[in-house]
Structure 1
Amino acid sequence: MAYPLSTNSRWIINEKGQRVKLACVNWPAHLQPVVAEGLSKQPVDSVAKKIMAMGFNCVRLTWPLDLATNETLATNVTVRQSFWSLGLSDDISGFQTTNPSMIDLPLIEAYKSVVTTLGNHNLMVILDNHLTKPGWCCRYNDSNGFFGDTFFEPGTWIAGLTKIATIFKGAPNVVGMSLRNELRGPRQNIDDWFKYMQQGAEAVHGANPNVLVILSGLTYDTDLSFVRSRPVTLTISGKLVFEIHQYGVPKTPTTHAARFLKSSTTEAVSTSGTSRCFLVSLEWM
């Protein structure tokens, strides 16, 4: 793969100008341990190989904002200590067997190790800021859903995005950063979406101009219709990607996906004045 990636109208392309289709799996690392899930059961190398074997070329690797903004958590707590604090003694034993070189790494170093291993298997990575406090996501009124919520202070969020973008500036397989998963809740509104998502996008690009900057919509990222009449305004060129989520377990996935791609939300992006591209995240429940 010729990195970095960029956008050309509706397409994502590589450095040679060739179209790139991202086929990503979702790998959570935002839960209470702040460690990529499953590594107490399998070596990270084995997980990467299986992702490749299934035909995927990309991993959407989630992270909590605290991993970037809580220095004590990120650098002073090891994988072993994180599991121990949660009473996960069996996971400590399993992790030591499957990934012994990672068990005593600080949490941020363990996260970086996963990214490196994925890169060693030619897997691209999208770093997804899933929430602020490590834990399950996402309730409508969990105080984690929109700018100004108890656990979602815009300045802290921008600082965290900037730090993660800087940390992974030298990782060529980190091709994109999704600014925040599934904005939601009673505070959500269009004006603040534009204000802060544009600020976050500029901050990420300023820290790491190589990555795609990925913006999600409102109402659990099911609504981007508002960009039809109000384009996103950035100084960034060739890096903006929109992300939209769709839920359900359809009997006919192909037909369901085609209908979704013709919906008002996706049409709004394709007809907006924004220089844009699309990353569609289909999440089956």
Structure 2
Amino acid sequence: MHRNRHRSLALAACAAVAALTGSLLSTTRADAAATPATPAAPSAVSWAAPLSTSGRWIIDADGRRFKLRSANWAGAQGTWNGSGDIADPANHHSGENANGMPLGLDRASLPSILAGFHAVGVNSIRLPFSNEMVHASAPVPDTAVAANPELRGKTPLQVFDAVVAALTADGFAVVLNNHTGTTRWCCGLDGNERWNTSRGTTD
């Protein structure tokens, strides 16, 4: 009896695998038939703006399929944890104060950061930011842009704009992510957890 039960389970498992394999193969054939005839753009610098969609595909201005290979460059959305002295890095996520701009500009030049993105094969960069950063009028500290002296005296938004300009000039697509209302680490019960809290409106 146990032998028959095991045999039945084995047959059922084989049937399930066969059905799944057939489903995957038919999906693969359907996908292949739906794939645009033009080849995919292979690197960050070989696509033509603007991007658009065609059915399920993202395509560039020349009709080539554009596959997003993205990296996330955090910082401009805020790093402060919400308690303690905002100037103390210990009160920021991972102990790093981003000063309302993409992290790392104190340690590496923009060209070297972009070269690193190219080296790992990404073609697009996600840049999260906060609404508060857009309105901040005080310049970032010189120490926050120590490796990029040309950014001294700029507001966080001006630094953000310079980063976007450098990325696009170097061939990267940029995905802007309006991540938070306030420039602090998201999310708890701080009003950043949803779009329709007291910190935001539906307008």
In the alignment, does 2:84 pair up with 1:31? Answer: no
Identical positions, percent: 28
1:41-80 residue pairs with structure 2 within 5 A?
A: 41-68=107-134, 70=135, 73=136, 76-80=137-141
Give the structure 2 partner of residue 116 of structure 1.
Answer: 165
- Aligned residues: CA RMSD: 1.5
Q: Give the ranges of 4+ consecutive aligned residues of structure 1 lying more than 3 Å apart after TM superposition.
A: none
* Larger-gyration structure (1/2): 2
Report the alpha carbon displacement of residue 118 of structure 1 after superposing the two structures with TM: 0.9
Q: Which amino acid aligns with 2:153?
A: D
- Gaps (5+ residues) in structure 2? 1-46, 80-98
Report the alpha carbon displacement of residue 94 of structure 1 after superposing the two structures with TM: 5.9
Give the structure 2 partner of residue 102 of structure 1.
Answer: 151
Q: Which amino acid aligns with 1:106?
A: T
Equivalent residue of 2:182, what SS?
Answer: coil
Provide Cα deviations, 1:100-150, integer angstroms capped at 9, x if missing partner.
0002112211111001111222111000011100010123x3322224312
Q: Distance in 1 between matches of 2:144 and 2:183?
A: 22
Q: Distance in 2 between matches of 1:137 and 1:116?
A: 26
Equivalent residue of 1:135, what SS?
Answer: coil
In the alignment, does 2:53 pair up with 1:7? Answer: yes
Q: Distance in 1 between matches of 2:118 and 2:125?
A: 10
Provide Cα deviations, 1:211-259, integer angstroms capped at 9, x if missing partner.
xxxxxxxxxxxxxxxxxxxxxxxxxxxxxxxxxxxxxxxxxxxxxxxxx
Q: Distance in 2 between matches of 1:77 and 1:149?
A: 27
Provide Cα deviations, 1:34-85, integer angstroms capped at 9, x if missing partner.
11111111111111110011100110011101233x3xx1xx21112xxxxx
Q: TM-score, normalised by structure 2?
A: 0.63
Relative to structure 1, the CA distance from residue 130 to residue 106 in structure 2 (aligned partners, 3 Å threshold; closer, same or farther) is: same
Q: Distance in 2 between matches of 1:20 and 1:6?
A: 9
Q: Which has the higher strand share?
A: 1
Equivalent residue of 2:150, what SS?
Answer: coil
In the alignment, does 2:202 pair up with 1:146? Answer: no
- Structure with higher RCO (Cα < 8 A, 6+ apart): 2
Q: Distance in 1 between matches of 2:108 and 2:131?
A: 26
Aligned pairs, number? 137
Report the alpha carbon displacement of residue 93 of structure 1 after superposing the two structures with TM: 3.2
Q: Which amino acid aligns with 2:162?
A: S
Q: Distance in 2 between matches of 1:40 and 1:153?
A: 35
Relative to structure 1, the CA distance from residue 50 to residue 103 in structure 2 (aligned partners, 3 Å threshold; closer, same or farther) is: same
- Gaps (5+ residues) in structure 1? 81-91, 156-285
